[in-house]
Amino acid sequence: MKAVIHVNSRTYTIHIDQPLDISIPLRASKDNVNAWYLPPPKIYPSVIKDRAVSVSQGAAVNFNTIEFNPHAHGTHTECVGHITKEVHTINDCLTQFLFVAELITVVPESFNGDFIISEKQLRYAIGNKKREAIVIRTLPNTKDKLSQQYSYTNPPYLTEAAAVYLREKGVKHLLVDTPSVDKENDNGELLAHKAFWNIGGQTRMDATITELIYVPNSVKDGKYILNILIAPFENDASPSKPILYKLYDKELPKQK
């Protein structure tokens, strides 16, 4: 099924009936993906007047309480409020939801005992393409990422120079399949976060970082329309559901 959409004054035709979900679902399980040294998320029936509100326990409805951390327990999209003293929320910062994106695949490089995503790798993978969003899939890429326990594993991360390159290239939305764009234990430096949001300069309030995605190997590198779906949390981050849509081969003429 075709759908015609308009993104930044250009008109695209997408396969609306073929959404490619690149989010990781949140489950009340020890096998839920996890990072940052937290216990698994919890989903359980609320108790009202000493009675669990659950159909299986005789109630008319299911009425669950959920305990989780968006940064630790699944795919999430964050704004600059993640690292500022001032309160900025993803609900205020992310006001557009459709973007032209490029999916790239990289093999993190070994560097001083770490694995990094470097500026050189990004320059090679992106080339002269102009994209609002970059989606980074790292190799190896197995379904283990759906339940990976990342705490104390020092996952791959972006170098500061790589983040600067993306910022200077005009990328507003960065999506990665790791828990963070920065090193797990970097003594709070957060160099890639700060570089991407341009902390210390003209802060990019409308830029976002989405972490803990999972892009199946069946999804080919290339150009897509990206839809970032968030819950309207007044918080620095929200659980999110980024969706890629394939483009038909031919784009329609630019609108006048």
Name the strand (E) or helix (H) holding 90. Answer: helix 90-93
**Does pLDDT of 186 surpass 80?**
yes
Segment 61-115, tens digit of pLDDT? 999 999 999 999 999 999 999 999 999 999 999 999 999 999 999 999 999 999 9
Tell me: the pLDDT tens digits for 2-30? 899 999 889 999 999 999 999 999 999 99
Token couple for 247: 């483009």
**E strands present in 98-193:** 98-106, 109-111, 114-117, 133-138, 157-158, 173-176
Query: For the chain, which residues make up each domain, given as ranges?
Result: 2-27+70-246
Q: What is the C-alpha separation between 202 and 216, in angstroms, rounded?
A: 36
The letter for the amino acid at 206 is D
Mean pLDDT of the chain, nearest integer:
96
- Average pLDDT of the segment spanning 230-250: 93
What is the gyration radius of the CA atoms in the chain, in angstroms?
19
Give the predicted TM-score (pTM) of the model.
Answer: 0.95
Which CATH class, in words, describes the domain spanning 2-27+70-246?
alpha beta
